[in-house]
Chain A
Amino acid sequence: MKALTKKNLLILGAILLTFTVVQGLISVGIINKFYEITIAMICINIILAVSLNLVTGFTGQFSLGHAGFMSIGAYFGAVINLQMESTGGFLLGIFAGALAATLVGILIGIPTLRLKGDYLAIATLGMAEIIRVVFLNLDITNGAAGLSGIPRYTNWLWLCFFTVATVLLINNFIKSSYGRACISIREDEIAAESMGINTTKYKVMAFAIGAFFAGIAGALHSSYFYFIRPDIFGFLKSIDILIIVVLGGMGSITGSILAAILLAVLTTYLQAFTAVRMIIYALLLVVIMIFRPQGIMGTKEISDLFKSKKKDERIG
């Protein structure tokens, strides 16, 4: 079978190893409840950042509304989970949330993705704000007080599963012809269009896929942290996700993963000082943009680093 190459087996082995080691450490108790929260945060942020990276980093569409999609997933997941308190309900909630987010993504994407750059950023921001206000006023979402007592079915197994699935699926998407079409839009929209690429179609596609995974992340979030309210998914949450993508490098999946881990650890240590944390975040954004606008990884992946080294050796 073609899928069973040495590289794929190696990746599968690494994933299984990570899963068992962390699972073992959790059951032995070396990773306590406090660190478990950090791990959950890392996983959820990886899903969010990788999916935003598809939209912003690979397709070049600057979106400031990712938290809006996350909130749709979170509310769908929470409402369904509160009705059906079982693993089945949990999974149903995740998929219903993800599908609802995708649907909203398509509906909003078709008109707004005609806009470019700054205008798109503001339009997506406005969209997320409208979603937040709607959740603030609905009865089923319990308004500003939010929903609480959501049963916790999110555990390391599901977090690991969905994170790995997100990364693999988005990675495969980018390496497919669809993904190359998306990258060509980022590089030069007019050139891509003149090569016969239906830019609107691919932009909406990337936006919808990004929304789908943001929905999953939202549902995982609501199920892990017991309670949600509309304020959690405001403008600042979108910025939080954007910071991860920018720090990791727009157009690098491994960069997003690295940055998500780095920032989650930073957040854990600065938990008591919200203002200081935000000041550091803000300085990070400005300093990265001035001195290293491509982020930690640029558009490279970690595997690319090894490749280039090997090439050098061969030449030498």
Chain B
Amino acid sequence: MEQFLQQVVNGISLGSIYALIALGYTMVYGIINLINFAHGDVYMIGAYIGFAAITYAKLGFFPALVITMILCAILGVVIERVAYKPLRNSTRIAVLITAIGVSLLLEYVMMFFVGAEVRSYPKVLSGEVFHLVGVVINIQQIYIVVTAIALMILLQFIVHKTKIGKAMRAVSVDQDAAQLMGIKVDSTISYTFAIGSAFAGAAGVLVGIYYNSIDPLMGIMPGLKAFIAAVFGGIGSIPGAMIGGLSIGIMETLVSGYGNSMYRDAAVFAFLIIILILKPTGLLGKNTREKV
């Protein structure tokens, strides 16, 4: 029982990170129907920016987090403007291939500049440990969960209470109609990318602190898993991404805790295929009918 609780605690902290990345996927998918493959790499670059901010600029955790989020937001907007905007009216496969290209580009440009080796993250938080009913919780996990929850509340506020959020929701329902109502579709899409990328950057810093190591290809797997989380929760749905992220995180830690940790990636992908076959719209997704 204690081991189970311990795995669940680890799963929640890992799942919060997945949920943060999944939010970006789900927002972008909701608004322009694109699996932004480069999202996982924005997260990787976020981890490196955080690394630089802490190591070279000697900043603390929160300033590093804020700087990372701002820079990643800019990066997200640049990617959207340069790579995706010219393809607004092309086929979905063309955009998807572009996204894969951007993803590879970010990975290998980064590898070219910082080298392929794994770096260890600076210790910015104390290694304090709490014991709670036999479960070990360290201070990093608390920071991760608290930061993730704070950011999600912020996102809910932006989406539901601000003008930008209203515009985003309108564009995701019907792009043309939104444009006719005087909403600037292009800048709304840019805002979506900015917010999604900022969240991915935050997740990058958190994962660096949690796992203590970063490398240029670290974004591929978490990116895919976060996408699976978004699909599980119902793509396009923000609460769905949170639930999906937590579920995937907990599932992964349980598989590695009780079964074979080598099979944990396979388990997540098998889970994806099962969801796609049984309930492709996910937990909270909307059912859309295809029209001829």
Q: Are B269 and A290 in contact (CB under 8 A)?
A: no
Q: How many whole Å from B169's CB to the nearest CB in chain A?
A: 22
Cβ–Cβ contact B273 & A285, under 8 A: no
A130 touches B266 (CB 8 A): yes
In the bound complex, do residue A117 and residue B93 qualify as a contact, i.e. CB atoms below 8 Å apart?
yes
Specify which chain A residues have a CB less than 8 angstroms from the CB of B112 in the assembled complex: 275-276, 279
A282 cross-chain contacts in B, Cβ below 8 A: 101-105, 107-108
- Chain A residues whose C-beta falls within 8 Å of the C-beta of B91 in the assembled complex: 293
In the complex, are the beta carbons of A114 and B277 less than 8 A apart?
Answer: yes
**Within 8 Å CB of B260, what residues of A?**
137
Check if B105 sits within 8 Å of A125, measured CB to CB. Answer: no
Whether the Cβ atoms of A111 and B277 lie closer than 8 Å is: yes
In the assembled complex, how far is the CB of residue A139 from the closest CB belonging to chain B, in whole angstroms? 13
B113 CB to closest chain A CB, in angstroms? 9
CA distance A118 to B95 in the complex (A): 10
Q: Is the CB of B94 within 8 A of A115?
A: no
Interface pick from B44-52, B54-62, B82-90, B122-130: B82-90
Which positions 30-84 of chain A face chain B at CB distance < 8 Å? 62
Of B101, B111, B220, B263, which is within 8 A of A286 by CB?
A: B101
Q: Which residues of A contact B286 (CB under 8 A)?
A: none
Question: Measured between C-beta atoms, what is the minimum distance from B34 to chain A in Å?
Answer: 8
The chain B residue sitting closest to A121, CB to CB, is B96
Tell me whether A9 is interfacial, beta carbon within 8 Å.
Answer: no
Pairwise interchain contact A283-B97, C-beta atoms closer than 8 A: no
Most buried by A among B83, B87, B105, B263: B105
B180 on the A face (CB < 8 A): no
- Known contacts A119-B280, A137-B263; is-contact A286 B102 (Cβ 8 Å): yes
Question: Which A residues are CB-close (under 8 A) to B34?
Answer: 118
Contact across chains for A286 and B292 when beta carbons are under 8 A apart: no
* Distance in angstroms between the alpha carbons of A286 and B108 in the assembled complex: 14
Whether a CB of chain A sits under 8 angstroms from the CB of B121 is no
**With known contacts A286-B98, A289-B87, A122–B35 Cβ distance under 8 A:** yes
Task: Give CA–CA (A235, B41) in the complex, Å.
Answer: 15
A275-297 contacts to B, CB under 8 A, are 275-276, 278-279, 281-286, 289-290, 293
Q: Are B90 and A134 in contact (CB under 8 A)?
A: no
Partner of A123, one of B97, B98, B272: B272
Bound CA span A35–B117, Å? 31
B270 lies within 8 A of A126 (CB): yes
Q: How far is the CB of B241 from chain A (nearest CB, A)?
A: 15
Q: Check A122/B272 contact, CB under 8 A, given A62-B96, A111-B277, A242-B97.
A: yes
Q: How far is the CA of A276 from the CA of B111 in the complex (A)?
A: 9
In this complex, what residue of B is CB-closest to A191?
A: B292
B160 contacts partner chain A, Cβ-Cβ < 8 Å? no
Contacts of A130 in B (CB 8 A): 266, 269-270
Contact check, B262 vs A133: say whether CB atoms are below 8 A apart. yes
Best-surrounded residue of A111, A112, A285 (most CB of chain B within 10 A) = A285
A167 interface contact, C-beta 8 A: no
Selected contact of A279 from candidates B105, B272, B276, CB within 8 Å = B105
B109 and A279 contact, CB distance less than 8 A: yes
Distance A121 CA – B96 CA, assembled complex (angstroms): 9
Provide the bound-state CA to CA distance between A190 and B291, in Å. 10
Tell me how far the C-beta of A148 lies from the nearest C-beta in chain B, rounded to whole angstroms. 21
In the bound assembly, the distance between CA atoms of A209 and B258 in angstroms comes to 39
CA distance A293 to B98 in the complex (A): 10
What 0/1 readout, one digit per residue, does chain B (126-139) give for beta carbons within 8 Å of chain A?
A: 00000000000000
Contact A190 B272 (CB under 8 A): no
Question: Which one, B100, B272, B276, contacts A242 given CB within 8 A?
Answer: B100
B92 near A123 (CB under 8 angstroms)?
A: no
**23 A-B pairs, CB-CB below 8 angstroms?**
A111-B277, A115-B276, A115-B280, A117-B92, A119-B231, A122-B35, A122-B231, A129-B266, A130-B266, A137-B263, A239-B100, A250-B93, A275-B111, A279-B112, A282-B102, A283-B101, A285-B97, A285-B104, A286-B83, A286-B102, A286-B105, A289-B94, A290-B86
Closest 9 CB pairs of A and B: A285-B101, A126-B269, A282-B104, A282-B105, A133-B266, A278-B108, A286-B101, A289-B98, A275-B112
Given contacts A130-B270, A235-B220, A279-B112, 6 further A-B contacts (CB under 8 A): A111-B273, A123-B276, A190-B292, A282-B105, A285-B101, A286-B105
Which B residues are within 8 Å of any A CB, using their own CB? 33-35, 83, 86-87, 90-98, 100-105, 107-109, 111-112, 116, 220, 224, 227-228, 231, 260, 262-263, 265-266, 269-270, 272-273, 276-277, 280, 290, 292
